[in-house]
A = this chain, B = another copy of it.
Amino acid sequence: MQSFEQLSQQFSAHFNQKHFPPEPASLYEPNEYFLKAGGKRIRPVLCLMGNELFDEIKPDAWEMATAIELFHNFTLIHDDIMDNAPLRRGIETVPKKYGANTALLAGDVMLIAAYELMNNVSLTVIRRVQNLFNATAKEVCEGQQLDMDFEKLESVAFDQYLRMIELKTSVLLAASLKMGAILGGAGERNQNLLYEFGRKLGLAFQVQDDYLDAFGDPDKFGKQVGGDIVANKKTFLLIHAWETASASQKKELNKLIQDSSGDKVKKLIRVFKDCKADEWALELKNKFLDEAFGHLEDIAVLSKRKQPLKDLATYLIKRDH
């Protein structure tokens, strides 16, 4: 059993190569530029870990892991067009550097390249992994569309937001693990438990991310505190505040959302605290994390095989009890 760090290093070594032909450079160079900039490679390593939970890592898992990482990067390139984002991974985004049209096409070929790799997977499993991949890929697009739809709404219900986060973030983490499990020969029950582990882990991670935006230690968080607040993003905190606020707090929220003065962040954090959105978010995160660990517990393999996944979950999500 190998740790996330060990597999991450191996995957990076495997992935660190040219993925596209040299010509036409105007199309392929942007993709190589973006892939070279790195990233945490969490999803492909989850695929490898999902495989190794049940059996030694198969050559197919490397193909799938690489396909998953290419797919993830395709979504980032297209998201950066839609968000008109200038920076990612500390460098200019593909649309900013090469123009939106080239970024659009570069993303398209990145997705096709992912399918090229998947086409090498053994015939005994090709249909199952591609079915899961396709269903997940559509869900990720649905999540992105819902996210854009929500931007135009005045308020979003908790259930709607949860579903959007699930589609946009969780299902790919879950599916990466499950694809690994399929390749590792897991039975269907174990595959699905691992999927649920990933899904809940993704939700816990997003709750934490939303929480840290307002309540994180700026030195540790690595992002500017209140970025979501300044951008008027709907987050778990804002949605909970909205749903539990008194009449006067609701009035205050409305005023603050339209506000763009310097102390907007401070004032909104105050309302979050008044509505106990901070405590609620920590409980919600712990609930998802507990559920994730419960699913992992139920998987019918020796407990010690689960240790790397437990360690990863604990590393990604700080428990606050």
Contact = CB atoms under 8 A, between A and B. Distances in A.
A94 interface: no
Nearest to A112: B137
A149 B26 contact: yes
Contacts of A24: 142, 145-146, 149
Interface stretch (A127-135, A237-245, A258-266): A127-135
B127 A119 contact: yes
A201 to B, nearest CB: 24
Query: What is the oligomeric copy number?
Result: 2
A148 B101 contact: yes
A138 B102 CA distance: 14
A11 interface: no
Contacts of A126: 123, 126-127
A130 B118 CA distance: 10
A78 interface: yes
A193 to B, nearest CB: 25
A141 B105 contact: yes
A144 interface: yes
Contacts of A105: 78, 82, 141, 144-145
A64 interface: no
A27 interface: yes
A26 B78 CA distance: 17
A111 interface: yes
Given A81-B101, A82-B101, A119-B127, 9 more contacts: A78-B105, A102-B145, A108-B111, A109-B142, A112-B137, A113-B138, A115-B130, A116-B138, A119-B130
27 contacts: A24-B145, A24-B146, A24-B149, A26-B145, A27-B142, A27-B145, A78-B105, A78-B108, A81-B101, A82-B104, A82-B105, A105-B141, A105-B145, A108-B111, A109-B138, A112-B134, A112-B138, A112-B141, A113-B138, A115-B130, A115-B134, A116-B134, A116-B138, A119-B127, A119-B130, A119-B134, A123-B123
